[in-house]
Amino acid sequence: MIGSNPTEQSRVIAICLLAGKIMLQSGGETYRVEDTMKRMAAALGLPHSHSYVVPTGIFFSVDATEPAKLIRISERTTDLDKVSEVNAVSRRIGQGELSAQEAHDLLVQIEGKPSSYSTAVQLTAAALSSGCFTIMFGGGWSDFLPALICGGIGYAAVIAFHQLVRVKFFAELTASFVIGILAFLLIYMGVGHERDKIIIGSVMPLVPGLLITNAVRDLMAGHLVSGLSKGAEAFLTAFAIGTGIAVVFSLFM
């Protein structure tokens, strides 16, 4: 049995922590991260593990003699591909298809995997979704093009500013400021009619809608700490976007 050997045991712990870290950083749900880590540990010979996952860190312990391990998580994005890959690795471990070493190698590979879409494709997607949201929220087709432009440039701005300063709040605030100014400018130039519809569509790629929902869901599932911290993160983003737009409004109205 693997778990009885101390070096093997710490390797299994490292594998579980790595899997949990990738999932949590990529936007996996709290309970699913806990569940996956427990299952992997059990399949690799450590049936009595405990994991405690919050959005900012993972605690993992395997038994009473071994001290609990901790990992700090500071960056969180949404990367569904990584969630799905780790899930596949976990399932294969459960079926006994992967050894501990193979699983570790695979996980390291997944962690370093770049996004499967180029930045240009992502920007196009953000622009397209902005245009579509403007129509879905009751805007006319004359507002489609301005929302496309504002949304694309706004998303480019959030990526650029985030690389520049590494403060998410500032990047979101500036990006929404850019969106607001562009919307005003385009209306002024006679492109588009309803400013509000254009702005709402354009900020959708930035809006923390998924975070809000996940926060409420975590609260309902009894993950109180996770729910509150996700709620705080969502509130900060919403606040940044609202402020950015409000500054534009107070400048031009």
Partner 1 sequence: MLHFIEQALTSFVASAAFGIIFNAPRRMLLHGGFVGMIGWIIYIVLEYAADAVPATLAATIAVGVISQIFSRMFRAPVIIFSVAGIIPLVPGGLAYNAMRSFVQNDYSAAMEMAAKALMLSGAIAVGLVLSEVLNQMIRRIPASLRTKSSSK
| Site residues (vs partner 1, CB under 8 A) | 27-29, 32, 78-84, 87, 115-117, 121-122, 125-126, 128-129, 131-133, 135-137, 155, 199-200, 203-205, 207-210, 212-213, 215-217, 220-221, 238-239, 241-243, 245-246, 249-250
Q: How far is the CB of 134 from partner 1 (least distance, A)?
A: 9
Packing angle of the helix pair 195-203, 224-252 (nearest 10 deg):
150
Nearer to partner 1, 3 or 227 (CB): 227
Q: Where are the alpha helices (DSSP H) in 137-167?
A: 144-165
Residue 187 to residue 195: CA distance in whole angstroms:
7
With beta carbons less than 8 A apart as the criterion, state whether 62 and 46 touch. Answer: yes
Q: How far is the CB of 129 from partner 1 (least distance, A)?
A: 4
* Nearest residue to 146 (alpha-carbon basis) of 207, 206, 175, 189: 189
Q: How far is the CB of 184 from partner 1 (least distance, A)?
A: 14
Q: How far is the CB of 162 from partner 1 (least distance, A)?
A: 14
With beta carbons less than 8 A apart as the criterion, state whether 70 and 3 touch. Answer: no
Nearer to partner 1, 68 or 246 (CB): 246
Nearer to partner 1, 16 or 123 (CB): 123
Nearer to partner 1, 3 or 208 (CB): 208
Residue 122 to residue 8: CA distance in whole angstroms:
41
With beta carbons less than 8 A apart as the criterion, state whether 133 and 148 touch. Answer: no
Q: How far is the CB of 119 from partner 1 (least distance, A)?
A: 11
